Homo-oligomer: A and B are copies of this chain.
């Protein structure tokens, strides 16, 4: 079998995070790993009622194959919402429904990437995107990320060098609002600058936006797509964080010629997205359930975020720096360079607290002193006690410089 594998398959391996996450699922462990929405918020009664109606009243269509582009009413409702709430000049023909945003990323690589093509990502960047880009055989160039997201000066510098060497990146990928993994948001002026640079170097901007509606503080920032006059931005949105992930529904928003290519690529990928799930999601919006539901999510996550920031402020050693996100699901911590968070993970698990190591989010292999922390999933009590424990783990790591220490010598907090 080995000799028959594709180049892509030969380089595939289990995601590091995936293996770590298995550990964190133990019941006795307080997990700040993962990035799951809190199931306490799932609108079960409303969904059950809708699912029943959609099957009984529209079963001939909801249980049948659907069109590759997506259910027309759902596409229209999404387009209308993007116009109204996001200031985007789009209609339903600019919207392709996908089986989660991950499929949008896969279709992106199918439509634009030949093996060896250069693309640009932040350092760090979203792991799920980095993995599908790597599998497609891209050549990564990374740009520095600071408290306001991708640094445009570094971006320009990298592009200058690349084009000097005859390399023209196809696109840059970013999560500009409540970034995964860093939690930071790019301000408007920087978004404009990024779009100008993309224009100058004639490349696409891929704006992945699963979190922007989960804002707990500050004023909304306009999406890059809403500033796009050239059809240069490909935008990904999803119901996973504002409704439920189990329906596997997302949308790609782009110019019609690009949507057409995405549709051909999707036809080969899975023919169509579940008609049943699309009709459930449409009804959820059409019955007016979505906006109040988002408010419920914001109320809960805002409280958790406040608790989380308070806990980090109280318990984390001052050498450890962390972001203070205005929304989304994550904070991001940076330890002094001598701390190895991959090594520290074992000790954290022994102390019954988990996080996600930051290294896999860095395609250049750096970031071994970083970690991602999720605050949407743990209970309020878990946030309080888990951060106390993690603070102790971090202090011990700083004191003992874990990577030079034998496992047995390491004094663990209880």
List residues of A whose CB falls within 8 A of some B CB: 1, 4-9, 12-15, 18, 36-37, 39, 42, 44-45, 47-49, 51-52, 55-56, 59-66, 68, 98-100, 102-103, 105-106, 109-114, 117, 128, 131-132, 135, 170-171, 203-204, 231, 240, 244-248, 255, 257-258, 261, 264-265, 267-277
A111→B258 contact, CB < 8 A: no
- Known pairs A100-B271, A271-B100; A12 contacts B264 (CB<8 A): yes
B36→A59 contact, CB < 8 A: no
- Known pairs A5-B111, A39-B59, A102-B268; A246 contacts B52 (CB<8 A): no
- Known pairs A112-B5, A246-B275, A267-B18; A261 contacts B51 (CB<8 A): no
Residues of chain B within 8 A of A59, CB atoms compared: 39, 42, 44, 47-48
B277→A1 contact, CB < 8 A: no
Which one of B13, B44, B55, B264 lies within 8 Å of A14 (CB-CB)?
Answer: B264
A317 to B214, CA, bound (A): 66
Which one of B45, B135, B245, B246 lies within 8 Å of A265 (CB-CB)?
Answer: B135
B274→A246 contact, CB < 8 A: yes
A261→B128 contact, CB < 8 A: no
User: Which of A6, A114, A247 has the most chain B CB atoms closer than 10 A to its own CB?
Assistant: A6
- Known pairs A64-B246, A231-B1, A271-B102; A112 contacts B9 (CB<8 A): yes
Residues of chain B within 8 A of A37, CB atoms compared: 64
Nearest B-chain residue to A37, judged by Cβ: B64
- Known pairs A5-B112, A55-B51; A248 contacts B274 (CB<8 A): yes
Counted per complex, copies of this chain come to 2
A47 to B59, CA, bound (A): 9
Question: Lowest 10 CB-CB distances: which A-B pairs, in order?
Answer: A63-B246, A63-B244, A51-B51, A44-B59, A39-B60, A12-B264, A132-B268, A48-B55, A103-B270, A9-B111
A-B contact pairs, 29 of them (CB 8 A): A4-B112, A6-B109, A6-B113, A7-B114, A8-B265, A9-B111, A12-B264, A36-B65, A42-B59, A42-B64, A44-B56, A48-B55, A49-B52, A63-B244, A63-B246, A64-B244, A66-B246, A98-B270, A102-B269, A103-B270, A106-B269, A110-B135, A131-B267, A131-B268, A132-B268, A135-B265, A135-B268, A246-B276, A276-B277
B114→A6 contact, CB < 8 A: yes
A64 to B92, CA, bound (A): 27
A7 to B270, CA, bound (A): 20
Residues of chain B within 8 A of A246, CB atoms compared: 61-66, 274-276
A102→B51 contact, CB < 8 A: no
Residues of chain B within 8 A of A52, CB atoms compared: 48-49, 51-52
Which one of B4, B170, B171 lies within 8 Å of A170 (CB-CB)?
Answer: B4
Nearest B-chain residue to A46, judged by Cβ: B55
B12→A261 contact, CB < 8 A: yes
Residues of chain B within 8 A of A240, CB atoms compared: 65
Nearest B-chain residue to A278, judged by Cβ: B246
A44 to B60, CA, bound (A): 9
What is the CB-to-nearest-CB distance from A88 to chain B, in angstroms, rounded to a whole number? 18
